[in-house]
Amino acid sequence: MPRLAYLGPQGTFTEEALRLLEPDAERLPCANVTAALAAARGGEADGAVVPLENSVEGAITTTLDEFAWGEPLLITAELLLPVRFSLLARPDTEIPHIKRVYTHPAAITQCRAFISRELPDAVVVAAPSTAAAAQEVSLPGSPYDAAIGARIAGEHYGLIELAGDIGDRSDTVTRFVRVGRPGPLPEPTGYDRTTLVVFLADDHPGALLEMLTEFAVRGVNLTRIESRPTGDGIGRYFFHFDFEGHVADARVGEAISGLHRICGDVRFLGSYPRADGVAPQIKRGTSDPEFAEAADWLARIRAGKA
C-alpha cells in the first residue's frame, strides 16, 4: 500500500483525484504543493499527487516551478478530473440567510455567475483552499455562513450541499499528476505523453524555433508549452513541454536527444499513459520501423555496403 502526499487539507479536489488514481493508498495531506513534493523527495511518502493545469485558470505555476528545480521527480500517471463546485454550509442553513462566504480565489473566479445571481448581498472572502474554507465553516462560532468547494469537503467536515455544480462552466477540468522518485518508467501503451523542462543554452534569435524544430521534423505533436521565468532577470525563461509519445518511441527519443544537443539543460519528467487515451497520429517516415530501416541503411553506407 503506497503512501502518497497530496495538496491538503482533507477535502480538496486533489484528494478526490488521489482516491481515483490510487484508491488503496495511504493519504498524507500537506499544506501546499511544495510540501507534498518535498515529502515525496525526502521519502516521507512514496510519491505525491498534485494539480498541474486547469482548463479555465491555466497552469499551476507552483507545480511547474517545483518540477524545474530541486531533486528530480518523475510523473508516472495523470488524471483529468471534472471540477464540480458545491455551496456547502452547516445543517439548517438556507441560501437567503448566507451573508459571508469563504472559498479559494479560483472558486470565486469560476463561480461568479452563481454568486452574483444567488448570493448578491453576500461578502465573499478568499481562503487558502476550498477544503480549508469548508473546515473553517464547520467550526462552532465561525464567522462564515457557507463555503464553496468540492462535495468531498462537505463529507469530511459535516456540511450539507445547498447547491451543486455551481461553476460557470460545466466542462471545467483539472489535470492532476502522480509523481515519485526516479525509477523504472511505465511501459509504452501506444497512447502516452512525455513531459520535459528545457533551459536555453543562451538567448539568441530563433532559440525557441530551434527547440520546436526538433519536435516538428520528427512528427512529434506538442500538447502543451509553457514559459516560466528563471529568476535570473527580466527576459530569461525556461520551458515546459508536454507532447505525444513515449521516450521508448524512436521519434521521441530522437527529439529529446536533439534538444540535449542544443539546449543548456533538459530535465526529463517522465513518459506515462494519457488519461484521455488518445493515440498519436504517426506521420509517414516517423514510425519506429522507418527509423530502424533508415539506421540500417546508414550503417550499410558507412560500412561500404550500400
Question: Would strands 100-103 and 123-126 be described as parallel, antiparallel, or unpaired?
Answer: parallel
Q: Which pLDDT value is given to residue 201?
A: 86
Q: Which amino acid is at 133?
A: A
Confidence class of residue 191 from pLDDT cuts 50, 70 and 90? very high
Q: What is the pLDDT of residues 237-266, one digit of tens each?
A: 899 999 999 999 999 999 999 999 999 999
pLDDT of residue 80: 97
Q: Residues 6 or more apart from 291 whose CB is under 8 A from it?
A: 250, 251, 254
What is residue 158's predicted lDDT score, i.e. its pLDDT?
A: 96
| pTM, to two decimals | 0.90
Mean per-residue pLDDT over the chain, rounded: 94
Provide the grid cell at 82.
471534472
Average the pLDDT over 128-132 and give the result.
90
pLDDT at residue 239, as a whole number = 96
CB 120 within 8 A of CB 83: no
Residue owning grid cell 497512447 = 191
pLDDT of residue 226: 95
Give the rounded percent of residues in the chain with a pLDDT score beyond 90.
88
pLDDT class for 70, splitting at 50, 70, 90?
Answer: confident
For 152-180, how does the pLDDT look when each residue is reduced to its tens digit (9 = 90+)?
Answer: 999 999 999 999 999 999 899 999 999 99
Instruction: Write down the pLDDT at residue 119.
Output: 96
Q: For residue 230, what pLDDT is reported? A: 86
CB atoms within 10 A of CB 101: 25
Q: What is the pLDDT of residue 129?
A: 87
Whether pLDDT at 306 is above 90: no
User: Could you tell me how far CA 207 lies from the centroid of its own chain?
Assistant: 26
Give the residue-averaged pLDDT of 207-235: 92
Over range 209-233, report the average pLDDT.
93
* Ramachandran angles phi, psi of 143, nearest 5°: -75, -5
Q: What's the confidence (pLDDT) of residue 128?
A: 86
Buried (b) or exposed (e) across 104-143, using 16+ Cβ within 10 A?
bebbbebbeebbeebbeebebeebebbbbbbbbbbeeeee
Strand, helix or coil for residue 262: helix
Q: Which whole number is the average pLDDT over 123-148?
A: 95
d(CA 129, CA 59): 17
